[in-house]
């Protein structure tokens, strides 16, 4: 049935033939709209207001006949452009790496073996395997199907899944929609069953490829943080333009030098333009996400990492996240005896149970529980499946039927039924009397107390050529109980403790028996709250569920669709919820959560696409690393934003005050460019690379809906900037009275540059925070928490050294000094400028110390 004319079905295409077809048909993808090349980056940078004002300033210098100054300014414009391109290119490379890491894959038959390949490498003629939860990677014709149903709503608008049948392809692909088609379509979701299909159309030739261009041009709406900072930037820009116009009128009317007045006005406008804000909002999340991907957490939505840092409740699956998802048979109960099959030797009663459990499994199954049965059978020398038996019908797991039932045909034509599933579903089907049921429940209690996942195994016979639609109609006989052990992952208990110390409540959600779930929760350190079951949640209204969840630490026997109710109930209580999931039915809860976290190893395509984050190793500790990473990104973004707001106050003030007090003009456009060459990399390099603060994971989550820059933070930044401005004004006023104009400008500008560096160091080093220890996300290595020195940040050292060198060159190298309208300083004047910056640093540290929270807490290593 699976042979085709080209012979490609049984063994798949060869690698050589696949490569030839890939060259012929192209990659299986629609044209990418999100990536920007260097030309696009250059054009975007050239349209920035700062670049346009620099171009105007250079033109004004040429009008004045000051060719030297104009050329120096043009050179600084090129340097600024290069720095901008470097920042944007760095961000684009990080985003491209994230896109490649998150590229979808497909299970393909190549060279006679099943291999996982990027979907973009599929070609017509490839044979692909489809299973529940997969997104179909290309338009294809089904060769084999077992209960396959797909959701084609993205193509048809119809939400009801449609059934698929295996068969030969027709002369042309039919339109999507309707039951009984042999075609599956790229982008649709497999919601039930499994099958094999041969690819017929890829890329732009597929049904969804015709819609790809329209889909790719849909831009996401701005986030609340982007809207908040955009409003702040617009207000600062408007204020800068108003002050600039005032300064031009004041200087022009006083001195009559209107072009010089216009240059000073441009300098003031440039000093007020908050061009660093887009850098902070773009670079920090992108580079943070790229760095976090090295710790096995992939972000599909960059803002989700920052939101995860604010999570107050973490709803987490047990199996595969808290535990290893590496099952082993820990106990078998049969014939009234409890056995621990550690050595692989099994008595006859246990062999019967194991054989029945294998018959109730899928051949070559990837399910960890079924793999545990196969491994034990291999150790005991038992065949995986008896010879001469053929599978006839499979009754798969459903929310209403937590059991897998297989119907087999034996050599004599009789039918055998094998079933395994949840005790509460299976035991009533086995026709037990009171004594038998009591013994089974006692064994169940013993297994669940050990934290074992318990399955009831039963078998039966079926007469007749037809079989029922509902497997509950079979007459089953109890074989025994199997308890499967799934140990906690290494480091889970410590990671749970770190979450709790950070004010993040961990709520374990599992489909396991309540006693099993409670035992695992105690091992993981989640115990302390109530165990809430799925049936109990069904009996509650929304208000009752919200109240019950406040006291619960475990939700057992929970169905995937109940996760959505849990998320909404927690959110009504004011929680910021992070939810993990891996199945098709988890998608609504993942979308509803503030942050959805999908499993990368065992998760379905549907879950990964519904979630903002994907755990590439399915490890709970990776979630904790992401929480730390989110908090770190948010903290560093706030530091950078407060630094930008604080430093623009003295720059703008020193551009305006000389005109008001009759001092020589201090700042011209080239001086502003010089300062921007410090401020821009300070934002994109220094603060972005700043290690996690001491005690970061010992603080409660920030409140839901808290402003990124609230009024206290804004006021603190402005007060700090005002303190710097007052110090600089006194220093420059004294210099203007005691020194010639160009020397006074040198002294004032040196004081401003060094005060900028003092502000940078004060903002990056929180008061009371000792040096961070062993933060893997840090560019610094491990060190001792000495309580005195900030963590090493090579970017800070490099920028400080470069700024000091550039300042000395601008003052003492004649070509630059002429362009900057400055003159060399005597040692006492230079010492005075340095002393001014020291005074600024002391004032700023006093500000920081006055508002710093107490940090008398134990340092916790941040894995990020």
What are the catalytic residues? 317
State the DSSP code for 318. I
Cβ–Cβ under 8 Å, residues 679 and 482: no
Q: Is the dihedral of CA 830, 832, 835, 841 positive or negative?
A: negative
Q: Which are the contacts of 90, defined by CB distance < 8 A and separation ≥ 6?
A: 283, 287
Number of H helices and number of E strands within the chain? Answer: 29, 22
Burial of 764 from C-beta contacts in 10 A (0-12 / 13-18 / 19+)? buried
Find the radius of gyration of the CA atoms of the chain. Answer: 34
Contacts 24+ apart (CB under 8 A), 656-662: 656/243, 656/247, 656/268, 657/725, 657/729, 657/732, 658/732, 658/736, 659/247, 659/250, 659/251, 659/254, 659/264, 660/250, 661/733
C-alpha distances out from residue 34 to 27, 223, 550, 605, 793, Å: 17, 18, 42, 21, 32
How many CB atoms are located within 10 Å of the residue 408 CB?
21
Distance CA 749, CA 811 (A): 9
Contacts 24+ apart (CB under 8 A), 526-531: 526/496, 526/553, 526/554, 527/553, 528/553, 529/553, 529/554, 530/554, 531/555, 531/556
Burial of 391 from C-beta contacts in 10 A (0-12 / 13-18 / 19+)? middle
Cβ–Cβ under 8 Å, residues 739 and 826: no
How many CB atoms are located within 10 Å of the residue 380 CB?
15
- The alpha carbon of 460 is separated from its chain's Cα centroid by a whole number of angstroms, namely 48
Residue 819, both tokens: 């362009």
Burial of 307 from C-beta contacts in 10 A (0-12 / 13-18 / 19+)? buried
Residue 545, both tokens: 């569920």
In sequence order, which ranges of 576-710 are alpha helices (DSSP H)?
Answer: 587-592, 605-610, 620-661, 669-681
Helix (H, G, I), strand (E, B) or coil at 811: helix
Question: Would residue 124 be called left, alpha or beta, if left means φ above 0 and alpha means ψ between -120 and 50 degrees?
Answer: beta
Residue 80, both tokens: 């600024």
Burial of 517 from C-beta contacts in 10 A (0-12 / 13-18 / 19+)? buried
Distance CA 338, CA 349 (A): 10
Q: Which are the contacts of 823, defined by CB distance < 8 A and separation ≥ 6?
A: 740, 742, 743, 745, 746, 811, 817
Helix (H, G, I), strand (E, B) or coil at 409: strand
How many CB atoms are located within 10 Å of the residue 190 CB?
25
Distance CA 405, CA 401 (A): 10
Task: Indicate the angle between helix axes 620-661 and 741-764, nearest 10 degrees.
Answer: 160
Distance CA 750, CA 758 (A): 12
Pairing of strands 577-581, 552-556: unpaired
Q: Is the dihedral of CA 316, 318, 323, 324 positive or negative?
A: negative
């Amino acid at each position: 049935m699976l042979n085709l004319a080209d012979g490609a079905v049984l063994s798949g295409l060869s690698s050589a033939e696949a490569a030839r077809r890939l060259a012929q048909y192209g990659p299986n993808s629609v044209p990418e709209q999100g990536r920007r090349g260097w030309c696009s980056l250059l054009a975007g940078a050239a349209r920035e207001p700062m670049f346009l004002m620099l171009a105007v300033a250079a033109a004004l210098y040429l009008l004045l006949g000051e060719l030297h100054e104009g050329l120096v300014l043009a050179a600084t414009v090129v340097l600024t452009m290069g720095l901008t391109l470097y920042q944007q290119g760095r961000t684009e490379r990080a985003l491209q790496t994230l896109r490649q890491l998150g590229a979808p894959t497909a299970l393909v038959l190549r060279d006679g073996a099943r291999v996982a390949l990027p979907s973009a490498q599929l070609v017509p003629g490839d044979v692909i395997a489809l299973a529940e939860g997969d997104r179909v990677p290309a338009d294809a014709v089904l060769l084999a199907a077992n209960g396959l149903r797909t959701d084609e709503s993205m193509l048809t608008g119809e939400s009801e899944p449609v059934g698929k049948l295996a068969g030969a392809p027709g002369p042309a692909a039919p339109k999507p929609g309707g039951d009984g088609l042999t075609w599956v379509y790229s982008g649709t979701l497999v919601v039930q069953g499994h099958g094999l299909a041969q690819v017929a159309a890829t890329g732009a030739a597929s049904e969804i490829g015709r819609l790809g261009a329209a889909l790719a041009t849909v831009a996401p709406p701005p986030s609340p943080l982007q809207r908040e900072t955009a409003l702040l930037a617009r207000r600062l820009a408007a204020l800068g333009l108003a002050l600039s116009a005032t300064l031009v009128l004041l200087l022009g009317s006083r001195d009559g030098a209107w072009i010089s007045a216009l240059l000073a006005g441009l300098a003031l406008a440039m000093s007020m333009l908050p061009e660093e804000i887009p850098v902070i909002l773009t670079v920090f999340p992108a580079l943070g996400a790229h760095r976090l991907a090295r710790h096995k957490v992939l972000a599909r939505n960059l803002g989700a990492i920052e939101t995860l840092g604010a999570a107050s409740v973490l709803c987490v699956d047990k199996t595969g996240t808290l535990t290893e998802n590496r099952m082993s048979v820990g106990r078998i109960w049969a014939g009234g005896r409890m056995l621990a099959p550690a050595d692989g030797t099994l008595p006859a009663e246990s062999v019967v149970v194991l054989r029945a459990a294998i018959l109730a499994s899928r051949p070559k199954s990837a399910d960890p529980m079924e793999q545990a049965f196969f491994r034990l059978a291999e150790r005991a020398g038992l065949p995986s499946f008896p010879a001469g038996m053929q599978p006839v019908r499979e009754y798969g797991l459903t929310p209403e039927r937590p059991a897998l039932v297989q119907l087999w045909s034996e050599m004599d034509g009789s039918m055998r039924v094998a079933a395994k599933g949840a005790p509460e579903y299976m035991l009533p089907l086995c026709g037990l009397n009171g004594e038998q049921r009591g013994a089974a429940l006692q064994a169940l209690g013993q297994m669940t107390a050990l934290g074992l996942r318990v399955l009831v195994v039963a078998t039966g016979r079926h007469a007749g050529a037809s079989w029922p639609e509902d497997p509950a109609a079979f007459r089953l006989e109890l074989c025994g109980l199997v308890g499967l052990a799934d140990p906690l992952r290494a480091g889970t208990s410590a990671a749970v403790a770190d979450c709790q110390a950070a004010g993040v409540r961990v709520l374990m959600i599992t489909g396991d028996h309540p006693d099993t779930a409670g035992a695992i929760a105690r091992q993981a350190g989640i115990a302390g709250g109530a165990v809430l079951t799925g049936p109990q949640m069904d009996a509650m209204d929304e208000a009752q569920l919200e109240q019950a969840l406040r006291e619960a630490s475990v939700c057992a026997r929970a169905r995937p669709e109940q996760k959505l109710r849990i998320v909404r109930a927690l959110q009504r209580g004011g929680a910021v919820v992070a939810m993990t999931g891996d199945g098709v039915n988890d998608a609504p809860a993942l979308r509803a959560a503030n942050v959805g976290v999908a499993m990368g190893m065992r998760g379905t395509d549907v879950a990964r696409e519904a979630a903002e984050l994907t755990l590439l190793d399915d490890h709970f500790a990776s979630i904790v690393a992401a929480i730390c990473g989110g908090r770190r990104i948010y903290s560093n973004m706030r530091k950078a934003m407060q630094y930008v707001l604080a430093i623009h106050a003295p720059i703008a003030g020193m551009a305006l005050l000389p005109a008001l007090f009759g001092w020589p003009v201090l700042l011209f456009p080239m001086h502003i460019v010089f300062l921007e060459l410090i401020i821009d990399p300070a934002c994109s390099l220094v603060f972005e690379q700043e290690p996690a603060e001491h005690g970061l994971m010992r603080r409660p989550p920030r409140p839901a809906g808290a402003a990124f820059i609230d009024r206290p933070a804004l006021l603190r930044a402005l007060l700090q900037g005002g303190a710097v401005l007052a110090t600089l004004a006194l220093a420059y006023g004294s210099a203007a009275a005691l020194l010639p104009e160009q020397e006074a400008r040198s002294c004032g500008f040196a004081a401003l540059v060094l005060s900028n560096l003092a502000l940078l160091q004060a903002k990056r080093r929180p008061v009371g925070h000792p040096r961070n220890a062993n933060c893997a996300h840090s560019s610094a290595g491990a060190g001792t928490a000495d309580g005195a020195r900030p963590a090493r940040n090579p970017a800070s050292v490099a920028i400080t050294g470069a700024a000091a060198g550039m300042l000395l060159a601008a003052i003492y190298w004649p070509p630059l000094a002429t362009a900057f309208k400055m003159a060399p300083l005597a040692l006492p004047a230079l010492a005075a400028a340095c002393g001014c910056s020291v005074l600024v640093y002391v004032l700023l540290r006093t500000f920081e110390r006055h508002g710093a929270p107490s940090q008398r807490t134990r340092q916790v290593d941040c894995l990020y």
